Structure 1
Amino acid sequence: MNTSLLESVLQNYHWQLSFYAGLGIVAVAFLGKGIAWLVPTFRQAGRLNLDTYRKKMEKPNYAANQKWNRKWGPLSMVVIFGLILPFCLTAQAQPWWNMLLDVFVILMFYDFFYYLTHRFLFHDNGFLGGPLVRVHAVHHRQHNPCRMDSSYIHPIEVAIGLGLYAASILVLSLVMGPFHVVTIVVSWVAFTQINLHNHDLWEVDRFPFKYLNTMSAMHHNHHARFTGGNYATITLLYDWMFGTLDHGDGWKERAEKARARATAQ
C-alpha cells in the first residue's frame, strides 16, 4: 500500500466516532428499556417473554445455541465498529430532519435487501438457497418465538444479518456521504428493537399498540410453518409490494395449490 493511499485511509478512519456511536447505542437502549418498563403494557409483555425464555433455557440444546451466539456475536460487533463504521461517520452538525430522513433511508434500504435474502436464500431450496435454508431452519425451530428467540439462530445467520445491515450503511455512506453519529445510534436501536419485537409474545391489540400487535402476529405467522411470506423485518411494505403477505392462511393456500397440481397431473 503506497503512502498516499495509507494516509487517505487513516484520514477517513474515525474510530472515536464509532466508539461514541457504540456508547450511544448502549445508553439509548438501556434508557429506553427503563422507560418502557414504566408502561404497564410493555412491562407485562416483558415479563411474559422473560418467563418464557427462562423455561426455554432449561433445555440444553436451546441454552447451547444462545451461549454459542453470545460467544461469537461480539466478534461481529468488533468487525462492524472497528472496520466498517469508522469510515461511515461524521460529527458535522446536520438538521434534525435530515438525520431522521437518513434513518428512514438506512432502514428501508436494508429491509429491501433483507427481504430478498430472507426470501431467496433462507427459504428457497433453489441453487442459491440450498445450504442456507438449513442454516435458517435453526431459527424456525421456534414455532412460537419469544423476544429472546431473535438470537436463537445459526452463527452463520448472525454474520449474514449483521453484515447486511453494516454493508447497507457502508454503501449508503459512499453514495450519500458519511452519516451523523446520532443517525447511526437511532437507526441501530430501531433496527435492533424492531427485530426483537417481531419475536415478542404480544397479547395487547388495542390503541395505541395495534401496530405492535400486527407486526408480532405477522412474524409469528412466518415462524409457525416455515411459511412462504412475511420476509421483511422492518415493515410489511415489501411483502405487500411483492405479494408475500401472510395473514396466517398461507399454508392453506399452498396446500390448495398442491392439490390442484396433483389433480391436473
Structure 2
Amino acid sequence: MDSAFWDGLAAGYQWQLSLYTALGIMAVSLAGKLLVRLVPAFREASRLNRETYRQKMENPRYAANQRWNRKWGLFFWVVIFAGVLPFCLTAAPQPVWRVLLDCFVILMVYDFFYYLVHRFLFHDAGFLGGPLIWVHAVHHRQHNPCREDSSYIHPLEVAMGLGLYVACIFVLSRFMGDFHVVTIVITWTAFSQINLHNHDLWTVDRFPFKYLNTMSVMHHNHHARFTGGNFATISLLYDWMFGTLDYGAGYKGAEYKPKAKKVPEGAGAA
C-alpha cells in the first residue's frame, strides 16, 4: 500500500491529545465527586444511591454483571482513546462559542441517533419490532434503578452506546473539523453524568434542582415498564418531538400496551 497513506495516517494520529483528554475526564469527574459533598441535596442523593447499590451488590447475579461490565468498560476505553479519538482532536485555540457549539452539536446528534436505537432496536416500538430486546432486557431488570444501574447492562449494549457516541464524534469531526480537547472532556463528562443521574434515586423537587428531578422521574417512568416511553437520554427534546413523552401513564395509548402472548392451540383444553 502507498506509504503516503500511512504517513498521512500517522501525521493525524494525536495520541498525546487523546491521553490529555482521558486525564482531563478523570480530573473533572474526581472534582465533581468532591464538589458533590458540599451540596446537601447531592450529598443525600449520593448516600441513598450508595446504600441501595450496596444492597443490590449482595445479589450474586447483579454483582457478576457489574464486574463483567467494568472489565468491558476498560477494554472499550482503550479502543476509543487509542484507536478513534486520536484522529479527532486538536489543541489549536478556539473561541468559547465554538467549543460550546461543538458540545451542543455532538450531544444532540448523539441523542437523536440514540433515541432511534433505543426506541426501535431495544424496544418493540415500530416497524423493526425490537430485534435487540433480548440485549436491553438485561438493563430493564431494574424497575426502580439507582445510579449505578446505568452500568447494569449487557456488554453488547455497552459497546453500542459508547460506539454510537464516539462514532458521532468521528463523523462530525470529518465535517466540522477536529474537536478541541476541552470539547471532548465536556461532552464525555456530560454524556456520562447525565446517564448516571437519569438512574439516580432523587428526592429533591425544588429550585434549583427541579430539572434534575424531572429527568430522574422521567427515566424511572421508562424503567417501570418495558413498554414505557422517554427513549432519549441527554434531554427530553426528541421524545417531545416524536410524541413519546411518558409521565407515568404511557405514551400514545395503544403503543404502550404490551402485545398479547400467543397461546399454543389446545393449551387451554381440559
TM-score (norm 2): 0.92
Residues 243, 251 of structure 2: 8 Å contact kept: no
The alignment partner of 2:84 has SS state of helix
**In structure 2, how many angstroms separate the alpha carbons of the residues matched to 1:251 and 1:113?**
20
Question: Could you tell me which amino acid in structure 2 is paired with residue 214 of structure 1?
Answer: T
Gapped regions of structure 2 (runs ≥ 5): 260-270
Q: 2:134 is aligned with what amino acid?
A: R
CA distance in 1, matches of 2:138, 2:246: 21
Q: Which amino acid aligns with 1:51?
A: E
Please say if residues 125 and 133 of structure 1, whose CA atoms lie closer than 8 Å, have aligned partners that are also in contact.
Answer: no
Structure 2 Cα separation of the partners of residues 251 and 204 of structure 1: 25
Distance (Å, rounded) in 1 between the aligned partners of 2:257 and 2:37: 46
Maintained 8 Å contact 2:125/2:255:
no
How many aligned positions are there?
A: 259
1:96 is matched with: 96
Q: Quick one: which amino acid aligns to residue 101 of structure 1?
A: L
Matched residues in 2 for 1:179 and 1:245: separation?
A: 32
Q: Which letter does structure 2 place at the counterpart of 1:181?
A: V
Please say if residues 221 and 248 of structure 1, whose CA atoms lie closer than 8 Å, have aligned partners that are also in contact: yes
State whether residues 243 and 252 of structure 2, in contact with CA within 8 Å, keep that contact through their aligned partners in structure 1. no
RMSD: 1.8
Alpha-carbon distance, 1:254 to partner: 3.7
Q: In the alignment, is the contact (CA less than 8 A) between 1:227 and 1:251 conserved in 2?
A: no
Quick one: structure 1 residues 6 and 51, their matched pair in 2 at CA, closer, same or farther if it must change by over 3 Å?
A: same
Deviations 1:82-125 (A, max 9, x none): 11000000000001111011101100000000000000000027
Structure 1 residue 26, shift from structure 2 partner: 0.2
Cα distance in structure 2, aligned partners of 1:256 and 1:186: 35
- CA contact 1:232–1:238 (8 Å) conserved in 2: yes
Distance 1:230 1:130 in 2: 16
Amino acid at match of 1:212: L
- Residue type matched to 1:244 in 2? T
Whole-angstrom CA distance in 1 between matches of 2:215 and 2:258: 28
Residues 125/236 of structure 1: CA separation in 2 closer, same or farther (3 Å cut)? closer
Amino acid at match of 1:247: Y
Paired AA for residue 69 in structure 1 = N
What residue in structure 1 maps to residue 244 of structure 2? 244
Pair 1:248–1:87, CA change in 2 (3 A): same
**Gaps (5+ residues) in structure 1?**
260-265
More helix by share: 1
The CA distance in 2 between the partners of 1:258 and 1:83, in whole Å, is 41
One-letter identity of the residue aligned with 1:157? E
* 2:224 alignment partner AA: A
